[in-house]
């Protein structure tokens, strides 16, 4: 090797926009910029023959959020092509991201979010074939690696701490039981997934909100229980099918736990995440914060109270941190009559 490819913002005005470029840094210190400051390009991975670079990113350094995709750049010509857009999901997940992995057959391996889950994805570097899900199920993959014909990844589910897995010749095997003792001792509660119609008009994809409900410990179907409505931070992140200690603690304390991914969350088509951009946004105008997102959160709460008779509508609390703290403040100010208590944590008001 005569150098490395890295990502950095070396241009004037780097503190104003979000742009980052890919750069070839040779061993003698010479830097050659491979991209043109027209986007956000990061997590580079050079192909085995040294002729191409796979990377993550998107072409608009002024609009956030976006679904970040996998691109492939020809080092000689500096021509780049986006190869994963056949799957309108972000490859920069709530759990993080990795540089795309070049496989022996020439394909690329990464992972992407999907409506409360995240899974390993195989991507054609030419972009001619749609991306293919390699893992499935109610869980969240948090990282992936591959070498010598083995795909390794770590994943968590609602009743499973993050554990290691392998895939060899298409067969998956669990490799670790690091959290088995804790799971056995605490007997975590399970999520039930449900959907409700969006709280207002939405045309960018399925007009429904993903939500989850967790029953309290020692559940008695004849009783009514107090409810805790949780709203995640971000807002471009997602709740979903993973072990979440806060939810387990709330359920253990006797609460029904409700979580959802309203508009503005990740894990869906790009239009879903951008639905709450500002009304005057030049590229993707949305409702702004405090409109479609609030309506979706309230639709989830109302839907759960109507669907699950064990929820006590007279004892509803709400909490959230960061953007979730902002949501808590909005609900306290505009819809406080629905709640007995609201906790705004580290709000971004």
Identify the structural domains of the chain with CATH numbers, from first to last.
3-182 (2.120.10.30), 188-345 (3.40.50.1820)
Give yes or no for a contact between 303 and 292, defined as CB atoms under 8 angstroms apart: no
Condensed to tens digits (0 to 9), the pLDDT of residues 78-129 reads 999 999 999 999 999 988 899 999 999 999 999 999 999 999 999 999 999 9
pTM: 0.93
Q: Give the per-residue pLDDT at 38.
A: 84
The Cα 61–Cα 45 span in angstroms is: 21
Q: What is the pLDDT along the chain (349 residues), one digit of tens a residue?
A: 588 999 999 988 888 888 999 999 999 999 999 998 789 999 999 999 999 999 999 999 889 999 999 999 999 999 999 999 999 999 999 888 999 999 999 999 999 999 999 999 999 999 999 999 999 999 999 999 999 999 999 999 999 999 999 999 999 999 999 999 999 999 999 999 999 999 999 999 999 999 999 999 999 999 999 999 999 999 999 999 999 999 999 999 999 999 999 999 999 999 999 999 999 999 999 999 999 999 999 999 999 999 999 999 999 999 999 999 999 999 999 999 999 999 999 999 8
- The pLDDT assigned to 247 comes to 97
Q: How many C-beta neighbours within 10 Å does residue 277 have?
A: 20
Q: How far apart are CA 181 and CA 92, in angstroms?
A: 31
- For residue 214, give the nearest of 175, 174, 182, 245 by alpha carbon: 245
How many Cα atoms are found within 13 Å in the side-chain-facing hemisphere of 190? 4
Tokens of 181: 């003792």
| Radius of gyration of the chain, Cα coordinates, nearest whole angstrom | 22
């Amino acid at each position: 090797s005569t150098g490395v490819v890295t990502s950095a913002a070396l241009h004037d005005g780097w503190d104003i926009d979000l742009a980052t470029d890919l750069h070839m840094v040779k061993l003698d210190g010479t830097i050659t910029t491979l991209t043109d400051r027209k986007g956000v390009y990061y997590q580079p991975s050079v192909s085995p023959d040294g002729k191409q670079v796979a990377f993550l990113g998107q072409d608009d350094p002024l609009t956030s959020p976006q679904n970040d995709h996998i691109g492939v750049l020809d080092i000689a010509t500096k021509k780049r092509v986006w190869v994963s857009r056949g799957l309108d999901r972000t490859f920069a997940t709530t759990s993080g991201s990795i540089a795309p992995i070049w496989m022996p057959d020439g394909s690329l391996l990464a992972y992407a979010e999907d409506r409360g889950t995240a899974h390993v994805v195989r991507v054609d570097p030419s972009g001619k074939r749609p991306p293919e899900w390699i893992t499935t199920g109610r869980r969240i993959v948090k990282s992936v690696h591959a070498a010598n014909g083995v795909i390794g990844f770590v994943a968590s589910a609602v009743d499973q701490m993050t554990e290691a897995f392998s895939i060899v010749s298409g067969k998956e095997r669990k490799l670790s039981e690091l959290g088995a003792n804790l799971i056995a001792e605490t007997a975590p509660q399970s999520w039930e997934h449900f959907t409700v119609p969006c709280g207002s008009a939405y045309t960018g994809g399925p007009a429904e909100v993903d939500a989850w409900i967790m029953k309290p410990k020692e559940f008695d179907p004849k009783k009514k229980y107090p409810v805790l409505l949780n709203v995640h931070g971000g807002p471009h992140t997602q709740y979903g099918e993973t072990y979440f200690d806060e939810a387990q603690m709330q359920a253990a304390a006797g609460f029904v736990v409700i979580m959802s991914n309203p508009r503005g969350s990740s894990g869906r088509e790009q239009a879903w995440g951008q639905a709450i951009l500002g009304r005057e946004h030049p590229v993707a105008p949305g409702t702004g914060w405090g409109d479609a997102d609030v309506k979706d959160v309230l639709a989830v709460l109302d839907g759960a109270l109507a669907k699950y008779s064990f929820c006590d509508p007279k004892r509803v609390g709400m909490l959230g941190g960061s953007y979730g703290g902002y949501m808590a403040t909005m609900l306290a100010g505009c819809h406080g009559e629905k709640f007995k208590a609201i906790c705004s944590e580290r709000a971004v008001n």
